[in-house]
């Protein structure tokens, strides 16, 4: 009966209840929508960078990261065998990384040439899928000395598919080596910095002129099922190679990791501000609801309703208000987010492509609806509702039946 009465009481003043339910719904909708958008934006960036650039884990000689020295290599087979003998569920690929100049007849740019093994590279990296149709293919087996460059590099060098370009670098002995390549593919990723800095060639095409010993590589990249698995497996991989520098994606790109933490913090701050404002709204509404029912609450006490039941009734009214508002807010947010979960939300008209140049933030955002996050938000809103109802409910408890009836 108390539940029935509390439910009916919230519809006693429909306008007031709709205003507070609307405020809760709007706040929750904004919080959920923004949170899903921000999480999606950052997670897209994290995943894209992992799939194209970082992988989950990278292994280098400990001195390689300081100066990208060509002599800071390790043995490919040894590293791969150690990985294969572990029970870690992941894919590994190895690369040569050579800094040098890439020149066309018109221009020259500084790049890192990644000498890759195509078969394993494609299990770890999505770079091959970043070549649009009619922009060639990723290092075809039958092509002679193919190179894959980015759209930005192609623009700078003023070259097209099948154009000839020359890569010049210093071999292990310090001698300058030049190799001529033909552009077999032009890629475009959402990370402008990555695009400008990297070109891809076959390991076997570039290795012979490096002067390095057989099976020398500079980098091993490991792709695990997801970042959660990475958090678990990273220490195991680290233990596998005590003599090498093993880093996870967070260490490799601290800014990206920071963006993720910052986004989570921003979500918490936004929701906290909303909850703080909501608390005052609920206190005000419930206080009005109690004060205008002074006589009725007195009568309830007179006919034998205990203070505990009166307190529960006021608390239940608040829970109902916040719950209804929360559900409406969540439904609104989900309804508006659903179409963009599959196709993404194109923010180009608002922010252009500037963020791509900044470091991999795509202008098309795929929001992430996290059920756990939604439940947490609903829980927090109801908790805020309960906490803010305590003062009005205590106010109702202090009413003496006789004094209240006299009002």
Partner 1 sequence: MTTIIETKNLCKTFKDSAQEVHAVENVSLNIAEGEFTAIVGPSGSGKTTLLNLIGGLDNATSGKIVIDGQDISMLSEKQMTEFRLRNIGFIFQAYNLIPVLTAKENVSFVMDLQGRKKSETNARTRELLEAVGLSDRMDSRPAKLSGGQQQRVAVARALASKPKFILADEPNANLDSKSAQHLLEMMEKLNEQEKITFIFSTHDPRIMAKAKRIITLEDGKIVSDEYK
Rounded CA gap, 21 and 198, in Å? 53
Binding of residue 1 to partner 1 (CB under 8 A) = yes
What number of chain residues touch partner 1 (CB under 8 A)? 22
User: What is the nearest approach in angstroms of partner 1 to the Cβ of residue 339?
Assistant: 40
**Do 219 and 60 meet the contact criterion of CB atoms below 8 Å apart?**
yes
Neighbours of 193 (CB within 10 A): 15
State yes or no: residue 397 binds partner 1 (CB under 8 A): no
Closest CA to 136 of 105, 162, 117, 111: 162
Q: Which residue has the tokens 């006490």?
A: 301
395 binds partner 1 per the rule CB under 8 A: no
Question: CA angle 104-107-113, nearest 5°?
Answer: 60
- The strand ranges marked E within 4-87 are 57-60, 74-75
Give how far Cα 72 sits from Cα of 198, 212, 248, Å.
19, 10, 19
- Determine phi and psi for 172, rounding to 5 degrees: -60, -25
Report if residue 307 touches partner 1, rule: CB under 8 A: yes
Q: Which of 301, 329, 385, 392: binder of partner 1 (CB under 8 A)? A: 301
Note whether 401 binds partner 1 by CB under 8 A: yes
Closer of 292 and 354 to partner 1 (Cβ): 292
Contact status: 303 vs partner 1 (CB under 8 A): yes
Does position 14 interact with partner 1 (CB under 8 A)? The reply is no
Q: Does 295 bind partner 1 (CB under 8 A)?
A: yes
Distance of closest approach, residue 2 Cβ to partner 1, in angstroms: 8
Nearest to 18 by CA among 221, 26, 205, 293: 26
Measured between alpha carbons, how far is 222 from 59 in angstroms, rounded to an integer? Answer: 8
Query: Which range of residues in 6-14, 135-143, 169-177, 382-390 is near partner 1 by CB under 8 A?
Result: 6-14
* Span from 108-116, 229-237, 275-283, 399-407 in contact with partner 1 (CB under 8 A): 399-407
CB of 278 to partner 1, least distance (A): 25
Q: Determine phi and psi for 254, rounding to 5 degrees.
A: -60, -30
Is residue 296 a contact residue for partner 1 (CB under 8 A)? yes
CB of 293 to partner 1, least distance (A): 9
Residues between 308 and 327 that touch partner 1 (CB under 8 A): 309
Using left for φ > 0, alpha for ψ between -120 and 50, and beta otherwise, residue 128 falls in alpha
Q: Which is nearer to partner 1, 5 or 387 (CB)?
A: 5
- By CB under 8 A, is residue 164 in contact with partner 1? no
Query: Going by C-beta distance under 8 Å and a sequence separation of 6 or more, which residues neighbour residue 381?
Result: 24, 27, 28, 275, 278, 322, 325, 326
Q: What is the rounded (10 degree) CA torsion for 124, 130, 132, 138?
A: -50
Q: How far is the CB of 312 from partner 1 (least distance, A)?
A: 12
Instruction: Say whether residue 16 binds partner 1 (CB under 8 A).
Output: no
Determine if 402 is a binding residue for partner 1 (CB under 8 A).
yes
Binding site for partner 1 (CB under 8 A): 1, 4-5, 8-9, 11-12, 295-296, 299-307, 309, 401-402, 405
């Amino acid at each position: 009966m108390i539940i029935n009465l509390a439910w009916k009481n919230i519809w006693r003043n429909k306008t007031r209840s709709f205003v507070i339910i609307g405020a809760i719904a709007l706040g929750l909708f904004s919080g959920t929508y923004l949170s899903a958008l921000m999480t999606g934006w950052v997670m897209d960036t994290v995943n894209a960078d992992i799939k194209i650039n970082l992988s989950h884990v990278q292994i280098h000689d400990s001195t390689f990261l300081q100066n990208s020295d060509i002599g800071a290599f390790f043995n490919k087979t040894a590293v791969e065998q150690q990985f294969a003998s572990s029970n870690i569920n992941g894919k590994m690929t190895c690369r040569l990384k050579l800094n040098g100049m890439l020149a066309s007849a018109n221009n020259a740019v500084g790049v890192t040439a990644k000498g890759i093994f195509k078969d394993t590279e494609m299990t770890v990296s999505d770079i091959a899928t970043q070549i649009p149709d009619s922009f060639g293919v990723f290092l075809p087996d039958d092509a002679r000395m193919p190179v894959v460059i980015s759209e930005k590099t192609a623009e700078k060098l003023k070259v097209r598919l099948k154009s000839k370009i020359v890569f010049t670098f210093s071999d292990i002995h310090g001698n300058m080596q030049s190799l001529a390549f033909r552009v077999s593919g032009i890629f475009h990723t959402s990370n402008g910095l990555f695009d400008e800095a990297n070109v891809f060639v076959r390991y076997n095409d570039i290795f012979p002129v490096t002067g390095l010993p057989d099976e020398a590589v500079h980098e091993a990249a490991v792709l695990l099922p997801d970042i959660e698995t990475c958090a678990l497996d990273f220490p195991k991989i680290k233990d596998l190679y005590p003599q090498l520098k093993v880093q996870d994606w967070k260490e490799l790109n601290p800014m990206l990791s920071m963006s993720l933490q910052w986004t989570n913090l921003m979500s918490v701050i936004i929701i906290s501000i909303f909850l703080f404002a909501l608390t005052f709204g609920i206190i005000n509404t419930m206080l009005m609801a109690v004060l205008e029912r002074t006589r009725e609450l007195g009568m309830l006490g007179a006919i034998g309703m205990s203070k505990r039941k009166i307190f529960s009734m006021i608390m239940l009214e608040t829970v109902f208000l916040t719950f209804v508002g929360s559900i409406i807010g969540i439904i609104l947010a989900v309804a508006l987010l659903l179409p963009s979960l599959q196709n993404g939300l194109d923010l180009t008209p608002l922010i252009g492509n500037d963020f791509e140049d900044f470091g991999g933030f795509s202008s098309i955002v795929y929001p992430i609806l996290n059920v756990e996050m939604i439940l947490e938000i609903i829980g927090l809103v109801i908790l805020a509702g309960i906490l803010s109802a305590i003062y009005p409910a205590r106010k109702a408890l202090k009413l003496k039946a006789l004094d209240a009836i006299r009002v």
